[in-house]
Amino acid sequence: MLTRIDHIGIACFDLDRTVEFYRATYGFEVFHSEINEEQGVREAMLKINETSDGGASYLQLLEPTREDSAVGKWLAKNGEGVHHIAFGTEDVDGDAAAIGEKGVRVLYDEPRTGSMGSRITFLHPKDCHGVLTELVTSRADH
Catalytic residue among 39, 63, 83, 134: 134
Question: Is residue 55 within 8 Å of 115, Cβ to Cβ?
Answer: no
Q: Any catalytic annotation for residue 60?
A: yes
Catalytic residue among 7, 39, 63, 83: 7
| Residues in CB range of 74: below 8 A, 6 or more apart | 11, 83
Q: Any catalytic annotation for residue 7?
A: yes
Catalytic residue among 39, 60, 63, 83: 60
Q: Any catalytic annotation for residue 142?
A: no
Q: Any catalytic annotation for residue 124?
A: no
Q: Which of 20, 19, 92, 28 is nearest to 62 (CA)?
A: 19
Name the CA dihedral angle for 138, 38, 85, 27, rounded to a multiple of 10 degrees. Answer: 80
In the DSSP assignment, the letter for residue 101 is T
Catalytic residue among 37, 38, 43, 142: 43
Q: Any catalytic annotation for residue 134?
A: yes
Question: Is residue 42 within 8 Å of 35, Cβ to Cβ?
Answer: yes
**91: amino acid identity, one letter:** D
Catalytic residue among 34, 80, 84, 129: 84
Maximal C-alpha separation, the chain: 44
Task: Point out the residues that are catalytic.
Answer: 7, 43, 60, 84, 134
